[in-house]
Amino acid sequence: MSGGPLTGVRVLDLTRLLPGPVATLHLADMGADVIKIEDHAAGDYARILGDGPDGVSVFFRSVNRNKRGLRLDLKQAQGREVLLRLARAADIVVESFRPGVSDKLGIGYEALRAVNPKIVYCAITGYGQTGPLAMAAGHDLNYIGFAGVLDQIGIDGGQPAIPNLQVGDLLGGAMTAVMGILAALFDAQRTGQGRLVDVAMSEAVLAHNLFPLFALQTAGAVPARGGDILSGGDAGYGVYATADGRYMAVAPLEQKFWQVFCEAIGRPDWQARHGARGAAAAALRRELVELFASRSQAYWRDFFANVDCCVTPVLDVAEALEHPQFRARGMVVQADGLTQYAPPVKLSGWVFAVDRAAPSPGEHSEEILRESGFGEQEIAALQAGSVI
């Protein structure tokens, strides 16, 4: 990948499903040589989660592009030896086992550090390597529940709403992992010493759950669900239904935007109601409900298209993919027979490309081992023993 900022960086990826593979996807897209290592049994069972070309899911294909594939049985001593040899020339290892599993296999941080002091070893878990919940199983819903985020999602009087964006998996297991990996990699390049990067998805969510924390310290309590200014307490920040059953995201929160909004809809008398709270906010919200319900989404979309006051249509994913803004920014790419997202980071001197489709199981095993100094007889013996 020409110009990729991580060109020359090698990553051994032992993860599966969503958080880890998305983290290594970002590294691969930026030019790193990511080697996806799967076992001989199920491997990464994201392959079969949903339909896709040739029986491989769209999910798997989308989050494992630009990677190479190696099959390796880490339960065999020979498989562990192969990984240790690969680690000598690697920069980064990413895994998502429960705490202690990699150590029991003989491929934990200390074992890899012994053969390569510069190795950056990232362990992604739900609750971290230590603490009373370290060994507990969990999913995204559990992590955002523990972090006080789920409690705040939903409307006044309703139960918590499950977001369709996996906040814990993606903010925690992917983006936070990448942040830690790149920080440790930078330090390793300077000092010659790598680090263990301990990423807990629940902690990543907690660390970004900011407004409830602010409220707890300033008001002594967290607002009820749907009562924070950004979740229902301010009528000037909300979602309003249109006449055709669609929605508008209405967010003229600041006074300057609220004034422009009121002028645009012909209600300058509403300007004094900026920042209304409690019963006054509820009364204003009822009037806004009536206003937006009077016309279709298309009408309001066009009406506010050139009015700079933070009012936009709520699009579905298909509409977002076709929007001129995302198209102009190159966020939608066609590759491997799929519509995929481009990376959300633009860097000068680098043009993103999908150079590889997601690998089939072990697709590049022999190629990778040859590059790492394994001879033909060694490779043949590993194949005969079902190690690779």
The residues that are catalytic are 139, 169
DSSP letters spanning 128-184: -SSSTTTT----HHHHHHHTTSGGG-S-TTSPPPPPSS-HIIIIIIIIIHHHHHHHH
Those residues whose C-beta lies under 8 Å from the C-beta of residue 13, and which sit 6 or more positions away, are 20, 21, 24, 34, 35, 36, 37, 67, 94
Say if residues 243 and 197 touch (Cβ distance below 8 Å). Answer: no
Q: How far apart are alpha carbons 111 and 106 in whole angstroms?
A: 6
Angle (nearest 5°) at CA 190 between 188 and 193: 35
Residue 378 host element (H or E): helix 376-384
Report the candidate in 17, 107, 3, 14 with the shortest Cα–Cα distance to residue 59.
17
Those residues whose C-beta lies under 8 Å from the C-beta of residue 76, and which sit 6 or more positions away, are 385, 387
Q: How far apart are alpha carbons 387 and 83 in whole angstroms?
A: 11
